[in-house]
Amino acid sequence: MSNRKRALPPESLQLAAERFKVLSDQTRLSILQCLRGGEKTVGEVTVAVGASQPTVSKHLAILAGAGMIARRQDGNRVLCRITDPVVFKLCDLVCGNLGGET
In the chain, where the domains are located = 13-98
* Residue 98 pLDDT grade (very low, low, confident, very high; cuts 50, 70, 90): low
Tell me the three state secondary structure of residue 40: strand
Question: Worst-scoring range by mean pLDDT, 5-19, 38-52, 72-86?
Answer: 5-19
The CA–CA distances, whole Å, from 51 to 37, 48, 76, 89 equal 19, 8, 21, 25
Q: What confidence category does residue 1 fall into, taking pLDDT thresholds of 50, 70 and 90?
A: very low
Does position 6 have pLDDT exceeding 60, yes or no? yes
pTM of the model: 0.82
Determine the average pLDDT of the residues in 78-89: 92
pLDDT surpassing 60 at residue 2: no
Nearest-angstrom CA–CA distance, 13 and 10: 5
- At 25 the pLDDT is 94
Mean pLDDT of 78-99: 83
Which of 1.10.10.10, 3.30.1330.10, 2.60.120.10, 3.30.1490.190 is the CATH number of 13-98? 1.10.10.10
Would you state the pLDDT for residue 92? 81
The pLDDT, as a whole number, for residue 102 is 45
